[in-house]
Amino acid sequence: MNTPDRLVEATRELLWERGYVGTSPKAIQRRAGVGQGSMYHHFGGKPDLALAAVLRTCAQVREAAGRLLDTPGTAYGRISAYLLREREVLRGCPVGRLTMDPEIVADDGLRAPVEETIGWLRGRLTEIVQEGLDAGEFSPDLVPAETAAAVVATVQGGYVLARASGSPVAFDAAVTGLLALLAPRTPTA
């Protein structure tokens, strides 16, 4: 990994662990194994490095979700794969963590990629729910945009429940409950 990549990865991890205020240039340099000169040679300062880290975090989250949501299969199967994918539940969501950081949310440039990523996820889930409705897979009572919001809220809320209890069991229970509510309709005779 080259020096700029090491700096971005170090910043990404520190933002996830400590937030913007808790991520000092010294901590970034230490984590990346580079000196101050290297950091400022590649980036104008902490704000530029934070933006690069936020953009990379958002891209990685979108890529991971897209691998599951953009595959062939039933709508329920794709949503289920997204909800059940392996996660570091007790660490929380790297994008969700950014939404709880007052410094990130207050900065339009740092908040924009986070907002776009969450909007993309909700939009993609809305499309998939609509596909399931069109195929007769889901109850016709489902409203695609509201269901997509519930999926995102379940994941983010599941992280909060797991972190509060110190156990991934709470996350798993939230996901299992949502999947039961979304379970495909069975035809009645």
CATH number, domain with residue 152:
1.10.357.10
> Nearest-5° angle of CA 111, CA 112, CA 114?
65
Q: Rounded to 5 degrees, what angle do the CA atoms 61, 99, 182 make?
A: 60
Residue 189 has pLDDT above 90, yes or no: no
In a domain, 41, yes or no: no
Residue 122 near residue 152 (C-beta atoms within 8 A): yes
pLDDT digits (tens, 9 = 90+) for 28-41: 999 999 988 989 99
pLDDT, tens only, 111-164 = 999 999 999 999 999 999 999 999 999 999 999 999 999 999 999 999 999 999
Position 19 pLDDT exceeds 60: yes
| 167: in domain | yes
Tell whether 50 is covered by a domain: no
* 11 close to 28: Cβ distance less than 8 angstroms: yes
Q: Does 51 fall in a domain?
A: no
Place of tokens 């986070």: 114
Burial label for 95, CB within 10 Å (0-12, 13-18, 19+), is buried
| Residue 19: DSSP 8-state | T
Predicted local distance difference test score (pLDDT) of residue 31: 95
Instruction: Give the model's pLDDT for residue 184.
Output: 83
| Number of structural domains in the chain | 1
User: What angle separates helix 25-32 from helix 3-18, to the nearest 10 degrees?
Assistant: 120
28 located within any domain: no
Burial of residue 56 (CB within 10 Å: 0-12, 13-18, 19+) is: middle
Which residue segment(s) compose the domain that 151 sits in? 56-182
Given a contact cutoff of 8 angstroms between Cβ atoms, the answer to whether 147 and 119 are in contact is: no
The fraction of the chain above a pLDDT of 70, given in percent, is: 98
Can you say whether the dihedral through the CA atoms of 11, 14, 18, 24 is positive or negative? Answer: negative
Per-residue confidence (pLDDT) for residue 135, from 0 to 100: 95
Phi, psi of 74 (to 5 degrees): -70, 160
pLDDT averaged over the chain? 94
The answer to whether 152 and 53 have CB atoms below 8 angstroms apart is no
User: What pLDDT sits at residue 187?
Assistant: 58
Amino acid (1-letter code) at residue 51: L
Q: Does residue 116 lie in a domain region? A: yes
Are the C-beta atoms of 9 and 1 separated by less than 8 Å? Answer: yes
In a domain, 1, yes or no: no
Q: What percent of the chain has pLDDT over 90?
A: 92
User: What pLDDT does 7 receive?
Assistant: 96
